[in-house]
Amino acid sequence: MNRIEQKLDFLRRVEESEEPLQAEETVYLIELLSAKNADVRCRTAISAGICFLPEFEKPLLQLLKDKKRIIRVNACDSLSNSANMAVAFELIPLMQSRYRLERGYAVLSYSDIALNAGAPKEETINVLRPYVEAESDDWAKAFCTEALAQLGDYGALEHLYRLLGSNDAHARRAALKCAARFVAYMDRDMLETTLIRQLEQERDETIKGLISSPLEKVGESEQV
């Protein structure tokens, strides 16, 4: 096993462990966040979210400037575990990124951090809404919709009826995940009609499987 494999094996073990990180493991994980090897940085950015500690915030913020887009996205996703609004403010520039996944994750992670921090929801919605309204990409829009809905802006869920039939498979998956989470706040009949229509048209077998979750929840709500 070479050095890179050893580092990746360490990350796998800490991810799978049910025990809290030991002090030396925390120090080593922080060290790996600035590893020269991109594969190691990429994996460590994910591991830092699974085993999140406030000590990881600073090195993860540094990774938001990494040359590799996937590393920036993974770092942004892991930072969603933070409860520090100063970290959330650092995500605002990514909401204007050229890359849709960075924009979507930045908005959703900001929302997550605000919830973790107990920040005023209406104030957070007002910060995010301009970026959400300006978003034209369906995949990023699905992330943005979930970001607002979990803050209590259920009007944003109106976007899902269109996104569930998007030409972008990534957007359809994200929209289905969001719809399954917020079925109770959507128009039951409209959602059911949209899901059945999409099930008939859907060619992606994985997405067909995902449609069953919100459909079942719609059925459950009918029986209540």
Same domain, 64 and 175: no
Distance in angstroms (rounded) separating the CA atoms of residues 37 and 146: 34
Express each pLDDT in 34-65 by its tens digit: 999 999 999 999 999 999 999 999 999 999 99
The parent domain of residue 48 ranges over 1-79
Mean pLDDT throughout 81-107?
98
Domain boundary among 79, 106, 128: 79
pLDDT of 98: 96
The tally of domains found in the chain comes to 2
Same domain, 31 and 69: yes
Same domain, 109 and 218: yes
Distance in angstroms (rounded) separating the CA atoms of residues 200 and 163: 16
**pLDDT bucket at 204, cuts 50 / 70 / 90:** very high
Read off the CATH number of the domain in which 53 is found. 1.25.10.10
The answer to whether 121 and 151 have CB atoms below 8 angstroms apart is: yes
Same domain, 181 and 217: yes
pLDDT of 221: 64
pLDDT of 216: 87
Helix axes 169-181, 205-223, angle to 10 degrees: 20
Express each pLDDT in 134-169 by its tens digit: 999 999 999 999 999 999 999 999 999 999 999 999
Same domain, 115 and 207: yes
Domain boundary among 51, 79, 107: 79
**pLDDT bucket at 222, cuts 50 / 70 / 90:** low
Express each pLDDT in 100-135 by its tens digit: 999 999 999 999 999 999 999 999 999 999 999 999
Same domain, 40 and 54: yes
Same domain, 75 and 89: no
Same domain, 66 and 10: yes
Burial class of 168 by CB neighbour count within 10 A (0 to 12, 13 to 18, 19+): middle
Same domain, 113 and 224: yes
Structure tokens at 76: 């942004």
Domain boundary among 23, 53, 79: 79
Entry pTM: 0.93
**pLDDT bucket at 219, cuts 50 / 70 / 90:** confident
- CA-based nearest residue to 48, from 85, 102, 101, 87: 87
Same domain, 70 and 105: no
Read off the CATH number of the domain in which 180 is found. 1.25.10
| Whole-number percent of the chain with pLDDT over 90 | 94
Largest CA distance in the chain: 58
Same domain, 71 and 110: no
Same domain, 6 and 100: no
In this predicted structure, the answer to whether residue 224 has a pLDDT above a threshold of 50 is no
